[in-house]
Structure 1
Amino acid sequence: MKQVAFIGLGNMGGPMAKNLLAAGWSVAAFDLSQAALDDVTVAGAHGAKSAAEACESCDVVISMLPAGKHVKSVMMGSDGLFSRLPADTLVLDASTIDTADARELHTAAREHLIAFMDTPVSGGVAAAQAGTLAFMCGGASEAFARAVSVLEAMGNREKIFHAGGDGAGQVAKAANNMLLAIQMIGTCEALALGAANGLDPAIQSEIMKASSGNNWPLQVYNPWPGVMPTAPASNDYRPGFMVDLMAKDLGLATSLAEQSSVAATFGHQALSIYQALQADGLGLEDFSIVMKQFNGE
């Protein structure tokens, strides 16, 4: 049985580690939160006292951490995992981080002959729990071929993509989530416009789903309360995908756009809207709570 070291067991990492266990992988896990670590050890993982201990005798390392600074502190430097792991160990970073940080990690990994890929995910907590995540992978094609079997334990094969070289996964993730935010805001505006003029939001949603305005929020994440019972909007906007995380991702996307001389006008406007929600104390709510800006709540 091959062994995976899993570093970072938050709302996404915990369910991902459990799905690896369910698929038959041996998992050694580490997190600074004892409660998070206990949760996966109850499911069958070995709870390590450090990231280094988790990686002893591992075949694959997966990290799911909040930001690039956290990933670099774990992986790089004289005490980092890159300097401890055997050559050709496969390391997959599923965190959503700055593209420049991802490329720096690739460079550092090559210096230690480590097979590194940036593999950010899409689908949120629900997909992490269900094992249906999408993976956007950046790095060498040889590393991607090795990564597929472990990623399949946490996502659907048809949603595991080799986006390109160093940092390409992070570029794809930034572009995707910028588009998602724009779609969500536009969907909220359209539903509010219809409701203000007498349309039932549920009927209007079906009309748009059958028309050229169809999009992912309408299909699976309707922001109008009561239209879709399983959506966060129908559960008091409990996440889901938090406003804070969307603001973070929009910051990464707009920063990348500026570095690339891309205007990203709507991306910047979306960032301003989500930063305003943060300022209103709504950072821990689901990102579809932007609906409240348009329906008068």
Structure 2
Amino acid sequence: MTPITESQIARARALIDPIFLGSPIVRQTGLDAALGCSLALKAETLNPIRSFKGRGTEALMASLTNRPTHVVATSSGNFGQGLARAATTRGVRATIFSGEDDNPGKLEAMRQLGAELRLVPRGGNAKALARDMAAKAGALYIEDGAHPEIAAGAGTIGMELAMQCGALDAVLVQIGDGALISGVGSWIKATSPKTRVIGVTATGAPSFRASLKAGKPLGISPDTIADGMAIDLPIASSVDAVAAIVDDVIEVDDEAILDAMALLLGSASLVAEPSGAAGVAAIMQNRKMFGGLKIAAIVTGGNVRPELLAQAAGRADDRASRATVRRAEWDSAAAL
């Protein structure tokens, strides 16, 4: 049995604000040629928070029978945006604990969506502070990855992939807290068991990968540009859920992620934050594994730091320049 059932995902879909549903599939012949496979990209960046996280936060807040007056959570940005929007549109106060050096754009977006931010110095225990505040204020503490409604909301992406793409050889899914792959993987395994569900982690965030190997949560401090995957200690139930549906896990380093961001920008005009490009990075680092296959990957978010976007744009320009030189050389050789 999958961790999240088809009925749970179907119920979640009925609760989610439609603005987060039905995200498009992007296909580009240039991407297929560069990667050596047939790639369907699920673009989760064309919604009010430019991230898939709105699906899970909508599903959770809409499912609460005893609606709280105040919710508290931790987030580096995308989950906090989703929770802030889902809470404040329902008249619920939202307080988010974030790192003081988190992406400034994401911090400001949370504020604009109505969240009260509490910034925690580097090395501080944001989760402990958030739990303590929730207990003292009588608020509901919400932890991303701990609520099945969040995974079910994310699972609607799997439902849509099945409808939009048909049979697939593999689906690549980023692993951060585990909710996304638990939900997507549950739908895929229930409806297309031959399709491989492959998790993607950042090399600089090995905690979840190590926890899967050990069969229990292991805490390891992350160091990666992929802040959406920078988990230091996964939840035990999330480790179990991911282990039940994942076929393989691939790790990608920051250089590969930047190259993938550049490829998406140059070949598909898609702006992806580092975590959002991780699925494509996994294909770039493992071309033989995916050669000739029908693959789906999820661009999970587009809230990228300006300096990282500039680096990706520079790499995209370099890639285009090299391609122009190669074409000129081919044309010259053909003319001889």
User: TM-score, normalising length from structure 1?
Assistant: 0.35
Where relative contact order (Cα < 8 A, 6+ residues apart) is larger, the structure is: 2
User: TM-score, normalising length from structure 2?
Assistant: 0.32
